[in-house]
Structure 1
């Protein structure tokens, strides 16, 4: 295989004394014997996406390594000095269970300290939401977490948070990227100033647990907490550090941890994917729940920002809830508690995303609060909190199994969310109900909304080209009819145009541009196409709904919705 000149030029730049001998030897090896790997490693610079920067670990500009992360950190250091001149700048750094996370975190700390910046570095792995909390608690200007969330074991990543506790958003992210791109690798300052690096742990842990309990506890009697039988799995990730202590401190005594998955391990040996969105990931926890007759199963992803939940249905069988279902359950519960406490006066809001269930809008309307809808990613919900200080944020989430309770943490937070779903479960059980029954009652009140996700993996350069072509085809040859229902509206977030197909009228949308297309059918069915910002995937989201006259008919209505979504998926050749 012939190596393209621009790829070879980029690779040769890594054969200079700026890079260590091990790196140079790896590049030489790829040039001589692995041209395909060389191309994948050097064909572009690793980019910031929906959830920061994620990539395969290895040598090259398109890989996670000490040089790509060092360059990021040097650029951010320069930007911090521009933004906060004359101040003692402080940053906090956390990392997860992935291979090399601890050494990469120390590299990042070294570069910041070499630039005269005070660094708080967690002494061991910690959940991502604790990083967001710690940033504000320690009054830092910036925070970094080394994580690739639920991506495969060969990945790692780098997420950047700002002084409000939320991730970077436009235009600031673009400004920082421009500073990073203007740097040469030779400009990275790797030599640390150790006296500027301070290790942190218990004090911040205790404060975070206290805050989580204050935000996600709602006067559940002690006997009801003790009566809830919980199975929890950390899926080999960071949540083992904080979720069990938080539940214990909150008064939950029957917490059974899946022992085979309790030890942090970047290989994630017991699962195909450490992603609670995947039913298989919770199979061991569900098996333990059946053995122990548990009421609820909770599993979190490696960096503890997403949670998967399983509960017993009306037949007593453990049933996995999807992210939209846990989101509406938790949001409704919070709204009801706020209403009971007399805290709703029209100045509150909940948050959601354009690919999540429209049922969130129904909940907001029923409780006289606003539902703000943004692009995928909790950085946009955090931005809502920052942009609308006159309104109080109650809670919000997205379909991909993330939820945020209040504004103490400005990112999805599986610590507080785990406690919240246990509160819901304990109170439901105490009154002779269940989480599942509560969900069905919501469907009876607001309509039965059913969502489904099809995620197609397309790896490498060819995969990226295929994903791009699929989006081009959907734009240039828009669907006109699906499942015998006419398309009535198309929202194109790349052009910011919403077009009424029936009238031809176009309206400009105010949400920031993104490579997303949403089709709406006559009956209200919603179909969305979106390339992932963190994985080599293109995702198709489906949402359909029907009225539910009474809870007893839920199974029949759900089957109707499932059958309809399956037919649409088949018609679109996505099955």
Structure 2
């Protein structure tokens, strides 16, 4: 990095920083983290640049870079890339992450050696960061199994298990903007690290001084870093394809990796399974961390905008379905053509319900399902899946906090041989025992199989959804969020969570709230009084679920509130449900639910803005 020439020393710099805190230009947490980087010897390469920033009084940038020690959230460590800073992704924080993972793993196992697997996606700096992580792990004495070419997150999870590793790491920021990157840490199960391991790793990260680091190429020559690429990737693809439940292949459409790595996993799986009618959407196939041909350069398959270019081509060529994976290809979204020729974007909840129904029906028909089998979902995933599972006479485990790592944990705890399907509303799906993280490939395989079967019956995925609504009631779910960046944004998120906890709204739009389930305080409180009526024991996390009824309507609504674990956002999940007593009333029920929810969303955002204005 460039070495500017500051004219102040560390003590003068810290005096300027303390003055900035007093003047509210720098947060207290940033001051604490900045002090370490300015004064401790392991950060010496960064100190000239830091002193110059302080001398120039660029406290806004300093606060952005230092307001926190970037935590292990729902999806590992993830954030803005910057050349320096404890709150950003850079060479030092990547090295510290790998060091923390290795040091804690060795302490936990009591062994000085071990094995690790590393993969990276196609983001800016991902390959570079992966080489740093591998060099650190090798420096700790671990044998590193390294994907030299960019790969998907589920392939990393598979490799951890296939290679018998103690730990693993994936360099990715999933669907975040081009400015971001991240580090996902994996345990020997192939799942992301869970408590208490995550805190143990962070403790080692914070204590990191000099970090052992081997030269990457020399470590390869010595056999401490071994390339695995196609040897492992081909086994992964075959494992996914082995979970096929149908021979129907007559479906046409497009798959887009959104400039990520999905072509090598999702698309290759579909081709290996025989879906010749699914073509690549070429303009979004080139691996490019800038995501140039994705609208707004935001490669999130939850966003309807990302499908628009492929939709235009599908309308010209007669495609029936469009699939998209996010940059690390662990999540998969679907658009399907309706009878009017328009493409409808299915939500993660809708896709999850369709896939759960598909695999349960297939396994029932095959006689491979028992009451001991189970389906898993998180507390912010649609209740429709629970209804489908109960009708199929299998167990439903649906009291999990947000994060696919909890689905993987439950899968192992309850017995992988009885695991049927796991899903979360943010387009995450998994089946089988081959890995322990969500996988766009298995979801794409089943979505195409189901679409092809329905096509043979003259139906679409939309028709099957309506069948499920008639069986289990109409379900309408969605999510809105508010972005709150940096230390000031973090305070806003805390203020909103406190307001929802201490003075929750009694009414929003046409909805009257009746109770709140508080997963942090483990209480159920009646509304509007907000008095405790019941307690429960788990799961414990910073999540609230409010229940409401619509005036003059059979519609019931739940509102979930939680801070994001991977982005600077507070998220709001809504779940509306109404029984459908007459098939002829389904459209009327849908219209009433949509109208109520639109009014509710407007009222919710107004309440949020007013709450922040009052604090």
Alignment match of 1:499 (pick from 520, 525, 535): 525
Q: Which residue of 2 aligns with 1:443?
A: 469
SS of residue paired to 1:432 = coil
**Contact 2:97 2:183 survives alignment (8 Å):** no
Q: 1:476 to 1:356 in 2, by over 3 A?
A: same
SS of residue paired to 2:37 = coil
**Contact 2:307 2:324 survives alignment (8 Å):** yes
**Structure 2: how far apart are the matches of 1:311 and 1:417?**
15
What stretches of structure 1 of length at least 5 have no aligned partner? none
Alignment match of 1:76 (pick from 91, 101, 115): 101
SS of residue paired to 1:242 = helix
Q: Give the deviation of 1:390 after TM superposition.
A: 7.6
Alignment match of 2:65 (pick from 41, 48, 52): 41
Q: 1:143 to 1:550 in 2, by over 3 A?
A: farther
Q: Which residue of 2 aligns with 1:516?
A: 543
Alignment match of 1:244 (pick from 237, 246, 267): 267
Q: Give the deviation of 1:79 after TM superposition.
A: 1.6
Q: 1:105 to 1:524 in 2, by over 3 A?
A: same
Alignment match of 1:138 (pick from 163, 166, 190): 163
SS of residue paired to 2:301 = coil
Correspondence list, 1:426-505, <5 A? 426-501=452-527
Structure 2 length-normalised TM: 0.88
Q: Give the deviation of 1:171 after TM superposition.
A: 2.1
**Structure 2: how far apart are the matches of 1:481 and 1:14?**
48
**Structure 2: how far apart are the matches of 1:311 and 1:361?**
24
Deviations 1:348-389 (A, max 9, x none): 111111111111221121011111121111001001012112
Deviations 1:189-247 (A, max 9, x none): 123444200011111111011000012x1131xxx41x210211110001021222111
Correspondence list, 1:96-495, <5 A? 96-181=121-206, 183-186=207-210, 188-192=211-215, 193-194=219-220, 195=222, 196-215=224-243, 217-220=244-247, 224-225=248-249, 227-271=250-294, 272=296, 273-373=298-398, 374-389=400-415, 392-495=418-521
**Contact 2:332 2:427 survives alignment (8 Å):** yes
Q: Which residue of 2 aligns with 1:67?
A: 92
**Contact 2:33 2:68 survives alignment (8 Å):** no
**Contact 1:232 1:258 survives alignment (8 Å):** yes
Deviations 1:466-516 (A, max 9, x none): 111111111111222344544232111111112344995533333332211
SS of residue paired to 1:253 = coil
Q: Which residue of 2 aligns with 1:27?
A: 50
Q: Which runs of 4+ in 1 moved over 6 A?
A: none
Q: Which residue of 2 aligns with 1:50?
A: 74
**Structure 2: how far apart are the matches of 1:86 and 1:13?**
30
**Contact 1:395 1:405 survives alignment (8 Å):** yes
Q: Give the deviation of 1:252 after TM superposition.
A: 0.8
Q: Which residue of 1 aligns with 2:573?
A: 541
**Contact 2:510 2:600 survives alignment (8 Å):** no
**Contact 2:136 2:214 survives alignment (8 Å):** yes
Q: 1:573 to 1:452 in 2, by over 3 A?
A: same
Q: Which residue of 1 aligns with 2:598?
A: 566
Q: 1:31 to 1:97 in 2, by over 3 A?
A: same
SS of residue paired to 2:594 = helix
Q: Give the deviation of 1:179 after TM superposition.
A: 2.9
Structure 1 length-normalised TM: 0.94
| Cα root mean square deviation, aligned | 2.1
How many residues in Structure 1 have an aligned counterpart in Structure 2? 567
What stretches of structure 2 of length at least 5 have no aligned partner? 1-15, 23-27, 550-554, 608-615
